[in-house]
Structure 1
Amino acid sequence: MQILDRTVVNRAKQAYSSRRVPLDEIKTLISEKRRPKSGDLVLARVVKLGSHQRIELPSGRRAMMNPGDEIIVAYGDRYAPDQYEAYVPGDLGPCHLVAAGGVAARAKSWHDRMGGPTEIEPIGLLGCARHEPLNIGDFALKHVPGPMPDAVFAVFGTSMNAGKTITAATLVKGFTDAGYRVGAAKITGTAAGGDPWLMRDYGAAEVVDFTDAGFPSTFNIDPETILDSTDNLLRALGSRGCSIAVIEIADGLYQAETAALAATEELRSILTGTFFAAGDAMGAVSGAADLARMGHRVVGISGALTRSPLACREAAKASGFPVFCLDELTNPEAVADWAALAGGRFETAAGQ
């Protein structure tokens, strides 16, 4: 352990994953043999650039990296069929940057378009004045008392890149345009700022994600823990005056945590309605049917397949559920119908 020179901290590129950790809390560098845990902050040196050549800063800017640069990231597992499968290593030896949002792990496998991960060399865990490792969980959102939003809509999907985020963001816009104060939450996934900022761009008054709950990634996090964090994130939105919340659940229904969450009564009981995003008709039909069998109130299908009118007609005919293109997700009549699913428990901000 050594006292850390402030200039070292200040010149390092701090990643989005560590955004809740004030830099002045970092006091020491712990370089002796340790087994890192998910969420532990690490100061690492870039050794060789791979598929991730930029790191996402807390501000949202994607800063270019060069070999020799020092970065502040968090250890975490990653599950991303279109990118990396990776796990927190058992030591502080060389590993990889497996997400631009700042996740350190050892990559086990990756999609063939990725070309290989960026190699990093941990210099040491970042610690507090008591010489204990700092973990982003130490800075998680505290328990929030009070009610949740009156209506909560979820967006599930077939996989990465199925159109979940744009579906969720467009729903945010539809409800916002109708006069509601809308909050957005991404409750699972891998640390990245792009989705929360998109929600802001589409009108969300408040945005939270699982990093606010202290997770760099939710892969291999117990579903009950995720449910507890979801409850708190939604109460945070409710406490900030949001009457409607739109939540996004990462990856597809075959991903372990997503499958477990979708099947729980605890999640279903807080949802007013569920949308399903897919890239093709067969995936849309299968996924929407699975959610319906689990007891979800499936409102409709959307996502990347809506780029094709033929795919939309196939999905609607085979599933029996309506398919909504993006512009239809902001249709005032449809938005009013969806809001009515909450039982008329609230009014628009304009009507209050």
Structure 2
Amino acid sequence: MKTRIKKSFACQGIKNFRISTDIKQLDNYIPKEGDVVLFEVIETGKHKNLQTTTRNVTLMPEDQILGVFGNRYATNQFEGYVPDRPMEEYHMLGGGGVMGILASSHSKFEEVGPTRLKLIGLATDPFKRVINTLKVFKDELVPFSGLSASQTKIVLSLGSSMDSGKTTTAAFMIHGLKKRGNKVAYIKLTGTAYPKDKNLAYDMGADLAIDFSKYGFPSTYLTEEPVLLSLYETLIKDSLSVRPDYVVIEIADGIFQKETKMLLQNFAFMNTVNDVVFSAGDSLSAVHGYHLLCQMGIFPTALSGLFTASPLLVQEVESTLYKDSGSPSVPVLGLRDLMSENCPIFSNTMKVLQA
């Protein structure tokens, strides 16, 4: 029986390929970020399913997966990297098909560990070269200028950390903006390839929902600043196809994360942003994150996130900020507020300038 290859979401843009199992080529192969390779599942661990372009498929030992080598930064899950030499065993770093070698994991996954893989083939082009997703789409990226963003309003959804509520915040903002009769696009600019966030945004009404994986990025972790800015410009340009009144941009992880911090400190990038909505998991991170952003010259339009599920945490944030004479008043918005037709925060048309 012919073995079925389960093609991962990270390989979405790869249409034509051949699988090389040539021993000589495999023995001399050194993994590179973006390389498309064929793995065999040795043992399932944390990831017992693989996200394809259509659905989540179950994984079993001896299954064959078409995945992409990439790095991952996920404080609540895995940290992992593309190895610089051939390995006897590789690991599934993300459910969208991002593969590499595990460096660390959250303690809740220490016992189960990562899904373990064996490299059994390379996806090659007609010239027997290993296909690399980053190279396939490299020429489609346009240089950063900020011109695309100037044709719409940009709302930036930031968070204090992973799982602080920024995706849900973005989705409910989109729902509210749609209620007000706006056209809205959603872009996830950074993170690890997985369609859940953009699917949620689309389900909540976005006229277009896209992310970095469209241009072959298995993840954006360790991406250089000029490339990340070019990716931003390209995705914004793509979003203009629906003539959006607003584009909601989500940046993964927290404001201390390398790429997030890099973007927030980039004046040219922040000068394209109209509004910043900051999500936090608890009252302390909400207050401290707000002050930290203000120190960077970034003044959030509103605070939201997981902490708004607790009336007591909301009271802590509001009482702390409102008593601090050095802090401007900033609204705290729960999900009902964000999706309300009367949500006041989107009337601002002035750019959020860094001091």
TM-score (norm 2): 0.89
| Residue of structure 1 equivalent to 2:326 | none
Structure 2: any 5+ residue segments left out of the alignment?
A: 322-328
- Cα displacement (A) at 1:140: 3.0
| Residue of structure 1 equivalent to 2:95 | 100
AA partner of residue 92 (structure 2): L
Structure 1: any 5+ residue segments left out of the alignment?
A: 1-6, 345-352
Number of aligned positions between the proteins: 332
Q: 1:260-275 alignment to 2 at 5 Å?
A: 260-275=262-277
CA contact under 8 A between 2:183 and 2:242: conserved in structure 1? no
User: Could you list the per-position Cα deviations for residues 40-73 of structure 1 after superposition, in whole angstroms to 9, with x for gaps in the alignment?
Assistant: 11100000111111000111x1111000000011
AA partner of residue 258 (structure 1): T
- Distance in 1 between residues matched to 2:304 and 2:346, nearest whole Å: 18
| Residue of structure 2 equivalent to 1:70 | 64
| Residue of structure 2 equivalent to 1:122 | 119
- Distance in 1 between residues matched to 2:241 and 2:207, nearest whole Å: 12
- Distance in 2 between residues matched to 1:259 and 1:143, nearest whole Å: 22
CA contact under 8 A between 1:184 and 1:246: conserved in structure 2? yes
CA contact under 8 A between 1:167 and 1:303: conserved in structure 2? yes
- Cα displacement (A) at 1:292: 1.9
| Residue of structure 2 equivalent to 1:36 | 31
- Cα displacement (A) at 1:33: 1.3
CA contact under 8 A between 1:53 and 1:65: conserved in structure 2? yes
| Residue of structure 2 equivalent to 1:52 | 47
- Distance in 2 between residues matched to 1:315 and 1:224, nearest whole Å: 37
- Distance in 2 between residues matched to 1:171 and 1:158, nearest whole Å: 18
Secondary structure at the residue paired with 2:75? coil
- Distance in 1 between residues matched to 2:241 and 2:84, nearest whole Å: 40
CA contact under 8 A between 2:47 and 2:95: conserved in structure 1? yes
| Residue of structure 1 equivalent to 2:258 | 256
- Distance in 2 between residues matched to 1:242 and 1:28, nearest whole Å: 44
User: Could you list the per-position Cα deviations for residues 3-50 of structure 1 after superposition, in whole angstroms to 9, with x for gaps in the alignment?
Assistant: xxxx66xx210111111111x244645524122111111100000111
Aligned counterpart for 1:330 among listed residues 323, 339, 343: 339
User: Could you list the per-position Cα deviations for residues 281-325 of structure 1 after superposition, in whole angstroms to 9, with x for gaps in the alignment?
Assistant: 110111122222222231111010011001012112223421100
- Cα displacement (A) at 1:144: 6.2
TM-score (norm 1): 0.90
Secondary structure at the residue paired with 2:288? helix
- Distance in 2 between residues matched to 1:151 and 1:129, nearest whole Å: 44
- Is the counterpart of residue 113 in structure 1 residue 108 in structure 2? yes
- Distance in 1 between residues matched to 2:337 and 2:136, nearest whole Å: 39
User: Could you list the per-position Cα deviations for residues 245-270 of structure 1 after superposition, in whole angstroms to 9, with x for gaps in the alignment?
Assistant: 00111001111111111111122111
CA contact under 8 A between 2:30 and 2:86: conserved in structure 1? yes
Higher mean Cα deviation, 119-128 or 302-311? 119-128
| Residue of structure 1 equivalent to 2:324 | none
| Residue of structure 2 equivalent to 1:185 | 187
- Distance in 2 between residues matched to 1:343 and 1:220, nearest whole Å: 31
AA partner of residue 12 (structure 1): I
Aligned counterpart for 1:280 among listed residues 279, 282, 288: 282
- Cα displacement (A) at 1:105: 0.7
CA contact under 8 A between 1:272 and 1:297: conserved in structure 2? no
- Distance in 2 between residues matched to 1:309 and 1:140, nearest whole Å: 47
- Is the counterpart of residue 321 in structure 1 residue 330 in structure 2? yes
- Distance in 1 between residues matched to 2:161 and 2:18, nearest whole Å: 37
- Distance in 2 between residues matched to 1:91 and 1:44, nearest whole Å: 16
| Residue of structure 1 equivalent to 2:224 | 222
User: Could you list the per-position Cα deviations for residues 181-234 of structure 1 after superposition, in whole angstroms to 9, with x for gaps in the alignment?
Assistant: 110000001111111110111001111111113210111111231121011101
CA contact under 8 A between 2:141 and 2:231: conserved in structure 1? no
User: Could you list the per-position Cα deviations for residues 146-194 of structure 1 after superposition, in whole angstroms to 9, with x for gaps in the alignment?
Assistant: 7335101011111111001000011111111111111000000111111
Secondary structure at the residue paired with 1:332? coil
Identity %: 31
Structure 1 residues 299 and 42: CA distance shift in structure 2, 3 A: same
Question: How well do the aligned residues superpose, as a CA RMSD in angstroms?
Answer: 1.9
- Is the counterpart of residue 12 in structure 1 residue 5 in structure 2? yes
Higher mean Cα deviation, 325-334 or 132-141? 132-141
- Distance in 2 between residues matched to 1:235 and 1:338, nearest whole Å: 25
- Distance in 2 between residues matched to 1:291 and 1:85, nearest whole Å: 26
Aligned counterpart for 1:305 among listed residues 298, 304, 307: 307
- Distance in 1 between residues matched to 2:189 and 2:204, nearest whole Å: 18
| Residue of structure 2 equivalent to 1:137 | 134
